Structure 1
Amino acid sequence: MKLNRVPARTGLLWVRLGLRTFARQPLAMAGLFFMFIMGVSVLAMVPVLGAPLALALLPAATLGLMAATKEAASGHFPMPTVLASAFRAGRERVRAMLLLGALYALGSLVVMTLAGLLAGAPAQAPAQGGADAVLNDPAVLRNLAWQAVLYLPLGLLFWHAPALVHWHGVHPIKSLFFSLVACWTNKGALTVFMLGWSAIFLAASLVLVLLASLLGGTSVLQVLMFPVASLLSAAFFTSLYFTFRDSFLTDDGQPPA
């Protein structure tokens, strides 16, 4: 397995491939994404152990969506069982994926703890006022800002790691190193990729605001925001597979997976 350096413009290609593949199988990819979100959300509601377990399963769930993208890009209909791909690859790969998940959960805990400390104190949600009161709390905003900063290196460590573990049997610790190096090597393409998706989400938001102003104000916006954001998020996750596929080459010079 070798790193493959790609030009910055490849980031836009990844965006287009994600959108095109999603358009081929929109019901399947959207349905799998909703299953992924619902499964993680329900598990997170379990007292005490739910949230850590949900975090630990995120790498495996992300791998499942990447496997679904691979199926869809090949012209096949991805079945719901593809989400469990990480747990159908043999005992050794399953253990490796579980270790990777445990490392991700631990890293997330460290990020949240550090963010709380750097924000001055762990942010406590106001007893009254709902979401508006929470977002107007400076401690909450500082906490969220620090989380965004600290999650960046964690995200780069785990960007390619699940795919390396699952498809190529790379040890979880080594997969984190290779993922970080690959992301740094192709930082231009990844930056363009993220900017491209940010532009798509921003454009969709502006269209929704315009429609809401024409059709009935905030009530229309509230109705449309969740499904549109969910579909775009599903398309974003669909594009992740291509960032992995083009960032590595096998020893014979071919794209992996």
Structure 2
Amino acid sequence: MKLNIVPPRTGFTWVKLGIQTFFKQPLALSGLFFMFMAVLSLATLVPFVGAALALALLPAATLGLMAATQEATKGKFPMPSILISAFRAGQQRKQAMLVLGALYAAGFLALMGVSALFDGGQFAKLYLVGGKITEELVQQSDFQTAMWVALALYLPLSLLFWHAPALVHWHGVTPVKSLFFSFMACYKNFGALTVFGLTWVGAFFSLGLAITLIATLLGNPAVAGVAMFPAALLMVAMFFTSIYFTFRDSFTPTLPDQPATDEIITPGDNS
């Protein structure tokens, strides 16, 4: 496969394609997203290891949503079984995805461990185990520092794993190589990913503003509170739909008459 470097404006196109594809199969894609959320939520209920298990399942579950999006682009109705695509692609790739999930869980728990050094683990405990969020807690400087440290560390972690599940599943790349290739693809296309992220931030902000304005015009502010949560969930489902296009456009498959390879080749290389 080859790395495809795209212009920054492609980030906006990814968002547009994600929304358009979602509305091609809204029932299927929204239903699969809610199943995705339900599976991860149920995993967190497992005693002692629930949070780690949910983190380990996240790459495979995300790949399932990407596979569903791919089906929708072909005009097909993605069935619920597509969510476990990562575990139906043969023993070797299933094991590779499990390794990838373990690496993600380890990386996420490690960054939470680093954040715990700043506030004694309050933020990490709240995020991983749950609990009551109080105004007093949020206003603590140590808690805020831990939160920002965790967010700063999560950026490189997310870049490492952004394309990794798809590379493992569709290209048979080993877990460690998939992390490297994913990071390099995100680095080379950081402009497009930045536009992608900012566009989604703008979309969520616009959604909240629109709902608030409608509730105000209706003279019933409570409508905003009722409508905001389901509307936000649908927007998140569209966001996950758009992730597939960030992968599809970042890599060019090896042509049939070329030898199979998992090496990234960027424009200008002579290899």
Do they superpose with TM above 0.5? yes
Partner of 2:90: 90
Counterpart-to-counterpart distance in 2, 1:99 and 1:216: 53
Task: Trace 1:24-173 onto structure 2 (pairs within 5 A).
Answer: 24-117=24-117, 119-123=118-122, 130-173=133-176
Counterpart-to-counterpart distance in 2, 1:114 and 1:221: 37
Partner of 2:2: 2
Identity in percent:
56
* 1:170 alignment partner, SS class: coil
Counterpart-to-counterpart distance in 1, 2:242 and 2:26: 13
Q: CA deviation at 1:219?
A: 2.7
Flag structure 1 segments of 5+ consecutive residues without an equivalent. Answer: none
Change (3 A) 1:110 1:216: farther
Change (3 A) 1:133 1:218: farther
Write the deviation string for residues 164-189 of structure 1: whole angstroms up to 9, x where unpaired: 00011100000000000000011111
Write the deviation string for residues 175-225 of structure 1: whole angstroms up to 9, x where unpaired: 000000000011111111111111100101111222233335553222111
Counterpart-to-counterpart distance in 2, 1:121 and 1:2: 45
When normalised by structure 2's length, the TM-score is 0.88
Maintained 8 Å contact 2:10/2:192 = yes
Write the deviation string for residues 137-173 of structure 1: whole angstroms up to 9, x where unpaired: 4333322222111100000000000000001110000
Q: CA deviation at 1:32?
A: 0.5
Write the deviation string for residues 108-153 of structure 1: whole angstroms up to 9, x where unpaired: 0011111121x34222789x97544443343333222221111000
Query: Quick check: 1:209 aligned with 2:208?
Result: no
Counterpart-to-counterpart distance in 2, 1:161 and 1:35: 22
Maintained 8 Å contact 1:18/1:242 = yes
Maintained 8 Å contact 1:122/1:139 = no
Mean Cα deviation higher: 142-151 or 189-198: 142-151
Query: Quick check: 1:177 aligned with 2:180?
Result: yes
Flag structure 2 segments of 5+ consecutive residues without an equivalent. Answer: 259-271
When normalised by structure 1's length, the TM-score is 0.92
Counterpart-to-counterpart distance in 2, 1:170 and 1:221: 46
Partner of 1:249: 252
Counterpart-to-counterpart distance in 1, 2:215 and 2:140: 28
Counterpart-to-counterpart distance in 2, 1:130 and 1:109: 21
Cα RMSD of the aligned pairs, angstroms, is 2.0
Maintained 8 Å contact 1:52/1:105 = yes
Maintained 8 Å contact 1:5/1:186 = yes
